[in-house]
Amino acid sequence: MEDREQYLRYQQDRTVLAAIGARLDPQVGRISVRMPRSLAESAVAAWNREEPGGIGEESREEYELRDDAAELALIGLAIGERGMRDGEDVVVDLDVVQVATALRAAR
Protein backbone atom coordinates (compact mmCIF):
# COMPACT_ATOMS: atom_id res chain seq x y z
CA MET A 1 0.00 0.00 0.00
CA GLU A 2 2.97 2.28 0.59
CA ASP A 3 3.61 2.65 -3.13
CA ARG A 4 0.07 4.09 -3.54
CA GLU A 5 0.57 6.69 -0.81
CA GLN A 6 2.42 8.88 -3.26
CA TYR A 7 -0.79 9.15 -5.30
CA LEU A 8 -2.64 10.44 -2.27
CA ARG A 9 0.06 13.11 -1.97
CA TYR A 10 -0.28 13.83 -5.69
CA GLN A 11 -4.04 14.27 -5.23
CA GLN A 12 -3.37 16.73 -2.41
CA ASP A 13 -0.88 18.51 -4.66
CA ARG A 14 -3.51 18.75 -7.40
CA THR A 15 -5.94 20.28 -4.90
CA VAL A 16 -3.36 22.92 -3.98
CA LEU A 17 -2.57 23.54 -7.65
CA ALA A 18 -6.29 24.02 -8.35
CA ALA A 19 -6.56 26.47 -5.45
CA ILE A 20 -3.62 28.44 -6.86
CA GLY A 21 -5.32 28.43 -10.26
CA ALA A 22 -8.55 29.71 -8.73
CA ARG A 23 -6.65 32.63 -7.19
CA LEU A 24 -4.69 33.39 -10.37
CA ASP A 25 -7.64 33.13 -12.77
CA PRO A 26 -9.11 36.57 -12.00
CA GLN A 27 -5.61 38.11 -12.21
CA VAL A 28 -4.86 37.00 -15.75
CA GLY A 29 -6.83 36.99 -18.94
CA ARG A 30 -5.70 37.55 -22.45
CA ILE A 31 -2.16 38.20 -23.56
CA SER A 32 -1.29 40.07 -26.73
CA VAL A 33 0.99 37.89 -28.85
CA ARG A 34 2.67 38.27 -32.22
CA MET A 35 3.33 35.45 -34.67
CA PRO A 36 4.32 35.09 -38.31
CA ARG A 37 1.36 35.32 -40.66
CA SER A 38 2.07 31.83 -42.04
CA LEU A 39 1.58 30.28 -38.57
CA ALA A 40 -1.56 32.33 -38.01
CA GLU A 41 -2.95 31.17 -41.36
CA SER A 42 -2.22 27.55 -40.45
CA ALA A 43 -4.09 27.95 -37.17
CA VAL A 44 -7.09 29.51 -38.95
CA ALA A 45 -7.02 26.64 -41.46
CA ALA A 46 -7.15 24.18 -38.54
CA TRP A 47 -10.29 25.95 -37.28
CA ASN A 48 -11.91 25.87 -40.72
CA ARG A 49 -11.05 22.22 -41.44
CA GLU A 50 -13.86 19.69 -41.52
CA GLU A 51 -13.03 16.47 -39.73
CA PRO A 52 -14.79 13.18 -40.45
CA GLY A 53 -17.43 12.30 -37.90
CA GLY A 54 -17.01 10.05 -34.91
CA ILE A 55 -13.99 9.18 -32.88
CA GLY A 56 -13.24 5.53 -32.36
CA GLU A 57 -11.01 4.00 -29.77
CA GLU A 58 -7.76 5.86 -29.51
CA SER A 59 -4.54 5.51 -27.59
CA ARG A 60 -3.47 8.11 -25.07
CA GLU A 61 -0.98 9.46 -27.62
CA GLU A 62 -3.71 9.77 -30.26
CA TYR A 63 -5.99 11.52 -27.75
CA GLU A 64 -3.22 13.98 -26.88
CA LEU A 65 -2.55 14.67 -30.57
CA ARG A 66 -6.26 15.31 -31.20
CA ASP A 67 -6.44 17.53 -28.12
CA ASP A 68 -3.46 19.60 -29.32
CA ALA A 69 -5.07 19.90 -32.76
CA ALA A 70 -8.24 21.17 -31.10
CA GLU A 71 -6.22 23.74 -29.14
CA LEU A 72 -4.62 24.92 -32.38
CA ALA A 73 -8.06 25.25 -33.94
CA LEU A 74 -9.26 27.39 -31.01
CA ILE A 75 -6.25 29.65 -31.48
CA GLY A 76 -7.24 29.84 -35.15
CA LEU A 77 -10.73 30.90 -34.12
CA ALA A 78 -9.29 33.68 -31.95
CA ILE A 79 -7.08 34.83 -34.81
CA GLY A 80 -10.03 34.82 -37.19
CA GLU A 81 -12.12 36.87 -34.79
CA ARG A 82 -9.56 39.27 -33.27
CA GLY A 83 -6.30 38.95 -35.17
CA MET A 84 -4.79 42.03 -36.78
CA ARG A 85 -2.17 41.95 -39.52
CA ASP A 86 0.95 43.94 -38.74
CA GLY A 87 3.36 43.67 -41.65
CA GLU A 88 4.37 40.03 -42.00
CA ASP A 89 2.98 39.21 -38.55
CA VAL A 90 -0.39 38.81 -36.94
CA VAL A 91 -1.11 40.23 -33.49
CA VAL A 92 -3.90 38.68 -31.45
CA ASP A 93 -5.00 38.61 -27.83
CA LEU A 94 -5.04 34.98 -26.69
CA ASP A 95 -6.31 33.54 -23.46
CA VAL A 96 -3.43 32.75 -21.13
CA VAL A 97 -4.44 29.06 -21.22
CA GLN A 98 -4.03 29.01 -25.00
CA VAL A 99 -0.59 30.58 -24.67
CA ALA A 100 0.38 28.00 -22.03
CA THR A 101 -0.85 25.15 -24.23
CA ALA A 102 1.25 26.37 -27.15
CA LEU A 103 4.29 26.78 -24.90
CA ARG A 104 3.84 23.29 -23.53
CA ALA A 105 3.63 21.85 -27.08
CA ALA A 106 6.90 23.62 -27.94
CA ARG A 107 8.71 21.74 -25.19
Reported as a single tens digit per residue, the pLDDT across 89-99 is 999 999 999 99
Comparing 17-26, 49-58, 62-71, the range with the smallest average pLDDT is 49-58
Q: Does the pLDDT of residue 14 top 80, yes or no?
A: yes
Report pLDDT for 2. 60
pLDDT at residue 5, rounded to an integer: 87
The Cβ-side half-sphere exposure at 58, using a 13 Å CA radius, reads: 11
State residue 54's pLDDT score.
77
Q: Say if residue 85's pLDDT is above 90.
A: yes
Sign of CA pseudo-dihedral 80, 81, 82, 86: positive
Residue 106 has pLDDT above 80, yes or no: yes
Sign for the CA dihedral angle at 24, 25, 26, 28 comes to positive
Mean pLDDT of 48-66: 89
Q: Is 76 a residue whose pLDDT tops 80?
A: yes
Over the chain, what is the mean pLDDT? 93
